[in-house]
Structure 1
Amino acid sequence: MEILNTKWIATVASIWIQCTSGSSYTFGIYSSTLKSTQGYDQSTLDTVSVFKDIGANAGILSGLLYSSSVTLSHHRRLRGPWVVHLAGAFLCFVGYFLMWASVVGLIERPPVALMCLFMFMAAHAQTFFNTANVVTGVRNFGDYGGTIVGILKGYLGLSGAVLIQVYDTIFKGNPSTFLLFLALLPTFVSLLLMFLVRICETNSVDEKKHLNAFSAVALTMAAYLMIIIILENIFTLTSWARITTFIFLLLLLASPLGIAFKAQREVAERLSQTFSAERSSLVYNPEPITSPKFSTAHDSIAYQELPGDSCQVKATSDDSIAQNEEDMNLRQAMCSANFWLLFIAMLCGMGTGLATINNISQVGESLGYTTSEKNSLVSLWSIWNFLGRFGAGYVSDIFLHKRGWARPLFIAITQATLAVGHLIVASGFPGNLYVGSILVGVCYGSQWSLMPTISSEIFGVGHMGTIFNTIAIASPVGSYIFSVRVMGYIYDKVAKGQDNSCYGTRCFMLSFLIMASVALFGCLVALLLFFRTRRFYNQVVLRRLRHSSRT
């Protein structure tokens, strides 16, 4: 089964797991049922939702487990990303199963604190799946880290829309059964595919071409989901129409497998041609065995340069050794200024972006948007989020390879654009939420592909999972600050004495002006990080890329 032992199959397995692991994005489907069956008020439900956000973003444990199981473990049988997937599958099943059992009355109604724990476990599984897939992807495609992170993070962003299509097609009107489905599907998919997600530290020709094919499929899938979402908000689709669109969606999900087979077939053909050429040169140009061509120093390099793709082959170049020496653990990274600059930038970008999506329905209501328009804004957010996650990684890779632009510059660009998006929402002109949500959604999503990639480049891939998941804590922290302490506080002040309701631009204008200022500050912090790391990118990252392109 050598064909299953390649980085391309590992990528397909990661894509499929990512597509089923974004269950935290579907909270809106079953939140009303959870609220009614457990007797919660809105404040209590919001508390449960906060634990969902914390669980889905605070992935330090998953990073530590990845580092110990892949980098530090001395037990061969206990090594590999599958250990992280197994832990994620356990958390996913236990969390959602106990929530489902509480909703249907299988177990006694749990205290709020215990339900928060169930929600935390269910959402926390996402960080284990995401860490195992993303860090493995960066290890397999180190030269195109931005592209592979963009692809995998993009599919995670689309997973919410995919799971909602499953609900609309199969479980419509039955959110309690959908909870049981969320306990089973991600668990089953990860257990089925976890041994295929493996580290294959090899370089092969035309990697970028095949990654572009994966990217094209992802873009096609995003466009298809966007069309379905728009049609659903305009027309009432019949059951046969939903089934037809869902089958086509499954075909799109299966298409990356064809790309993987094609990539591996080309690798095998190139390997065969290389051996044939070398064999011919030995027959027609025999040389003494003492020739420098057969020295051990050259053998190791020649062995690495073979266009093979088996996970059993390891690169042994000087650059890979240097890269290992550059790896920092979490404590070392946290002692550097670059870590905190990146953390502060993410606090500004992720925090204000997540606060916007958490309050977009309330903003729409205050500005007089209809229920259908508000639903469209919420549904389309996943598409803009995907475009940001995918596009930032892909575009930053192009400019890094062709122009040598250090990647932190793109954090500065996207956060400056994010500030513009907040200003547009604050302005309140007709249709402002459509324009503003696109800019905010794309720029928010871009942080999720840029930050892990920059972490791997600045701090190394050895402890990448732990480091980027620690920085990701900035997202729920920022969301709490800007959602509760800024937007919620100002809204309650303005709405005081009006039955806790507020209408007009005054309800959120000041909040979005504050968040625009914060995003602009994040842009300046990112620029400082760019100037601090520009020399490092020129001397280390670009040199490594040039060496890899030569080999």
Structure 2
Amino acid sequence: MAASKLTILKFVGFAVGLAAKFVTGSIFVFNVYQDAIKTNFNYTQTEVELLASMLNAGLGVGFVPGMFYDKFGPTLTSGAGLIVSVPVYLLMWSTVKYTSFYSKNVWLMAIYFLLAGFGSVFTYMVALNTNVINFSSNHTGKIVGFLNAVFAGSPSVFATVYYNLFTTGDSTIAENQDFAGFMLFLAILYGVVNIVCMFFLRIYTDPENKEDVSMTYYKDKNGIVLDELTIAVNGKSKSSEKSSENLDTTKDTPDNENEPLSVAQILCSIDFHLFVWMFAFASCVAFVYLTNLTVTSKSVHLDQYNNKLTLIIPITNAIVSAAIGILSDIFKDKIPRLVIVVLGCCAIIVSLVLVIVFADKLILLIVATVFTGIGVGIIWSLCPTIMKEMFSVQHLGRNWGIALLLSALVSFGIQEIFGTLYDSKVPEGEVNICYGINCVREGYGVFIGISVLAFCMGILILIRQRCCKCGSKTDMPV
């Protein structure tokens, strides 16, 4: 295949990946319609938190779609996303016709949200993995950054669409919101984008590119890295007159990407555990903050600004994601990506401190939300790239899926803790509503503790990497 045609096909796939990421970003607009759910079905805040947790838990079962992708590729994975997503959103569309039934069976509604999150991961994995594989590692930061920018920014678009097309009159009144219509809208979008992915997303490999994941690399006795093509043509190392019999058949990888590890090896890796738990703690806190932003604003009587507050994190996230992807590629030899991720954890900690102390001040609530958006943008843009560089692209779907799973599990726990603490503050006689900054302060206190854990794990990885470099007698692998 001509190089120019191959490049065009890769960029077509990238454009389709952006569209897929845009649609999957809709899972982060739960906060705009949670009041409608709470009012229509008369749920407590704990029950509403359960639905949000299950949505994120569906996203967290990402290791299943990830392993499915690793085995079957983008076409079948997109087809699986189509089969799961469209029916479940149609079921959610139908729930408002049977409000009395679902009011008493929140567990069934929770299953729908679990499946909605699960279905979105198939589409998410197709968009992310295919483009990470197709493009050189020199551009991984940019590719992941732009994909995440669209993924992160799309909730602001969906929130705007919801407030303008699926509400009538005062949008703060739950009865004026068309939750069912919005679910039908999402069913159509997921159907269209998955069909487009099935037709246009492919893995395109270039045999002249030594970063091609299908290429096997070896080291000769002198430590020189050779690929299969060089060995076949020359039969010997350029630095040695010895024959190819002297080759060490230990597989190696280009640039500074490590060998792919088995499930047993990855689960025994200290660095892997530190990294995925750091991501899980930081990302889950950011997710729960976003989910409960409208709950916080309502508690401090600032819910009239919800249609603006809900746009801050997606927009900030999108801008930071695009910028940090480019900058991390340019300065990756001077500033490790992990250092930037640790700074992202710091941004989240700062935001939580501001909310605990000043949530009832609009300007400071906005500042805190901006800091959360910055942290989210950094973490979600750079962590997939770091995952690829530390643990190989070959099992990226599986490895990144494990990280998503842990994030979902932690999110589930702290989401329920937040809801329980909130409900404990609801005065007798009130209908599941609590007013005052004290309603949310304890929940955000829990979030701070988890964010600090994420920060500490990031520091530990940096220390371990520095110790490994200092203790190494040779240069890092090619």
TM-score w.r.t. the length of structure 2 is 0.76
1:160 to 155, 178, 188: 155
Q: Do 1:53 and 1:476's aligned partners in 2 also have CA atoms closer than 8 Å?
A: yes
Specify the alignment match of 1:86 in structure 2.
Answer: 79
1:131 and 2:121 matched: no
* SS of alignment partner, residue 332 of structure 2: helix
- Work out the CA distance in 2 between the residues paired with 1:153 and 1:29: 21
Amino acid paired to 1:442? I
1:342 to 275, 286, 294: 275
1:300-315 matches, within 5 Å, as none
1:109-124 matches, within 5 Å, as 111-124=105-118
1:177 and 2:170 matched: no
Change (3 A) 1:163 1:194: farther
- C-alpha root-mean-square deviation of aligned residues, in Å? 3.6
Amino acid paired to 1:184? I
Change (3 A) 1:204 1:150: farther
Specify the alignment match of 2:390 in structure 1.
Answer: 458
1:19 and 2:22 matched: yes
Amino acid paired to 1:352? V
- Work out the CA distance in 2 between the residues paired with 1:376 and 1:168: 10
How far is the alpha carbon of 1:95 from its aligned partner?
0.9
Q: Do 1:407 and 1:530's aligned partners in 2 also have CA atoms closer than 8 Å?
A: no
- Work out the CA distance in 2 between the residues paired with 1:145 and 1:125: 25
1:351 and 2:355 matched: no
Q: Do 1:329 and 1:462's aligned partners in 2 also have CA atoms closer than 8 Å?
A: no
Specify the alignment match of 2:347 in structure 1.
Answer: 417
* SS of alignment partner, residue 68 of structure 1: helix
Change (3 A) 1:384 1:478: farther
Cα displacement string for residues 497-536 of structure 1 (whole angstroms, at most 9, x for unaligned residues): 6957655544444543443343233222101112323577
Sequence identity (%): 24
How far is the alpha carbon of 1:179 from its aligned partner?
1.9
Q: Which has the higher helix share?
A: 1
Amino acid paired to 2:129? V
How far is the alpha carbon of 1:412 from its aligned partner?
1.3
Cα displacement string for residues 407-457 of structure 1 (whole angstroms, at most 9, x for unaligned residues): 222221111222122112222173211111100121023211222111111
2:262 to 306, 314, 329: 329
Q: Do 1:13 and 1:194's aligned partners in 2 also have CA atoms closer than 8 Å?
A: no
Q: Do 2:95 and 2:180's aligned partners in 1 also have CA atoms closer than 8 Å?
A: no
Specify the alignment match of 2:328 in structure 1.
Answer: 396
How many residue pairs match? The answer is: 422
- Work out the CA distance in 2 between the residues paired with 1:498 and 1:103: 26
Amino acid paired to 2:285? T
* SS of alignment partner, residue 21 of structure 1: helix
- Work out the CA distance in 2 between the residues paired with 1:449 and 1:83: 26
- Between 1:507-516 and 1:372-381, the stretch displaced more is 507-516
- Work out the CA distance in 1 between the residues paired with 2:45 and 2:434: 18
2:314 to 362, 366, 382: 382
2:459 to 515, 527, 547: 527
How far is the alpha carbon of 1:88 from its aligned partner?
0.8
Change (3 A) 1:533 1:144: farther
Q: Do 1:57 and 1:472's aligned partners in 2 also have CA atoms closer than 8 Å?
A: yes
- Work out the CA distance in 1 between the residues paired with 2:421 and 2:37: 28
2:200 to 196, 212, 236: 196
* SS of alignment partner, residue 331 of structure 2: helix
Change (3 A) 1:497 1:28: closer
- Work out the CA distance in 2 between the residues paired with 1:33 and 1:510: 25
How far is the alpha carbon of 1:194 from its aligned partner?
2.6
Amino acid paired to 1:466? R
Change (3 A) 1:202 1:528: farther
1:35-46 matches, within 5 Å, as 43-46=46-49
Cα displacement string for residues 320-341 of structure 1 (whole angstroms, at most 9, x for unaligned residues): 5688970123332111001110
How far is the alpha carbon of 1:399 from its aligned partner?
2.0
- Work out the CA distance in 1 between the residues paired with 2:441 and 2:179: 35
- Work out the CA distance in 2 between the residues paired with 1:138 and 1:193: 15
Change (3 A) 1:103 1:203: farther
1:64 and 2:57 matched: no
- Work out the CA distance in 1 between the residues paired with 2:328 and 2:198: 29
- Work out the CA distance in 2 between the residues paired with 1:300 and 1:169: 64
TM-score w.r.t. the length of structure 1 is 0.67
Amino acid paired to 1:87? A
1:417-496 matches, within 5 Å, as 417-428=347-358, 430=361, 431-485=363-417, 487-493=418-424
Specify the alignment match of 1:49 in structure 2.
Answer: 52
Cα displacement string for residues 467-494 of structure 1 (whole angstroms, at most 9, x for unaligned residues): 1111122333333333332x44444555
Cα displacement string for residues 359-392 of structure 1 (whole angstroms, at most 9, x for unaligned residues): 22232234342x3223321222211232343344
- Work out the CA distance in 2 between the residues paired with 1:325 and 1:441: 31
